[in-house]
Amino acid sequence: MQPDLMNAVFLLSEIKHALVDLKNEGKKKVINLSNFPLSNDEARFIDEKLGRGNVKIIYEGT
């Protein structure tokens, strides 16, 4: 795992598990993005991995 993408990789894992739970059990989940501070490179990485769809995530770091 690239150290500069560590938070992005963990966030993608959380999203994956949330989607599996939603599909299999109808279980909804909130992911607190403040637990995953992201660099601009990480935000771009996530955008590339997730692509575009019906859900839009807006992340504005501080």
Tell me the per-residue pLDDT of 43-59, one tens digit each, with 9 for 90 and over. 889 889 988 887 666 66
CB 11 within 8 A of CB 46: yes
| % of residues, the chain, pLDDT over 90 | 35
CA distance 58 to 19: 18
What's the one-letter identity of residue 56? K
CA distance 20 to 57: 18
CA distance 25 to 19: 10
CA distance 31 to 18: 9
